[in-house]
Structure 1
Amino acid sequence: MNAIAERWVGSCRREATDRILITGERHPRLVVEEYASHHNEHRPHRSLAQRCPDGVGAPEPPAIDGPSRTLRRDRLGGLIHEYAQAA
């Protein structure tokens, strides 16, 4: 478990906290909570067949035939972007 925890802390530091100017005592907690939410709810993981940890048991989304739009959601003030397809 130590290796898994070190990997998560390293990812959090590289992708979030190293790129944000921390301005107060509560700010790092908010940044880490937002990153953890992104990590567990949206970010694809290779070992989980490109699924997020919270979506492992969920069925595959239906394939969209024809033209579709891509929706972008910004997190952490635009530091992290999440993309989804919309019909």
Structure 2
Amino acid sequence: MERWVKTLRDELLDRTLIWNEAHLRHALQAYEQHYNQHRTHRSLAAAAPLRARLQPLGPDRIGRLAVLRRDRLGGVLHEYRHAA
């Protein structure tokens, strides 16, 4: 739990000005979704807890790789995915 709280502070709370309780709840909900569905975790071999582990790309697909970025919480959090 201490590690999660430190990560939450480092990645969100130290970079965000929280206006009120409603804003805090919204930010925490968005961060929780980001943490469980998009953020990589070292102990899970760079996978997210609620997302299937991606298969490595072959050398033939790396040359034409397109990546899309989605900003969350006004650009504090960034989520990346492969473009189709």
TM-score range for the pair, normalised by the shorter chain length: 0.7 to 0.9
Q: Establish whether residue 27 from structure 1 lines up as the match of residue 23 from structure 2.
A: yes
Letter in 1 for 2:79: E
Q: Distance in 1 between matches of 2:27 and 2:64?
A: 36
2:46 aligns to what?
A: 50
Unaligned runs of 5+ residues in structure 2 are none
Aligned residues: 81
Query: Residue 60 and residue 20 in structure 1: after superposition, are their counterparts in 2 closer, same or farther (change >3 A)?
Result: closer
After superposing on structure 2, the runs of 4+ consecutive aligned residues of structure 1 that deviate more than 4 Å are none
CA RMSD of aligned residues (A): 1.7
Query: Residue 42 and residue 59 in structure 1: after superposition, are their counterparts in 2 closer, same or farther (change >3 A)?
Result: closer
Q: How does the TM-score come out when normalised to structure 1?
A: 0.81
Q: Deviations over 1:5-56 (max 9, x none)?
A: 111111111110111111112111111111111000001111101100012x
Identity %: 49
Higher normalized contact order (CA 8 Å, seq sep 6+, divided by chain length):
2
Q: How does the TM-score come out when normalised to structure 2?
A: 0.84
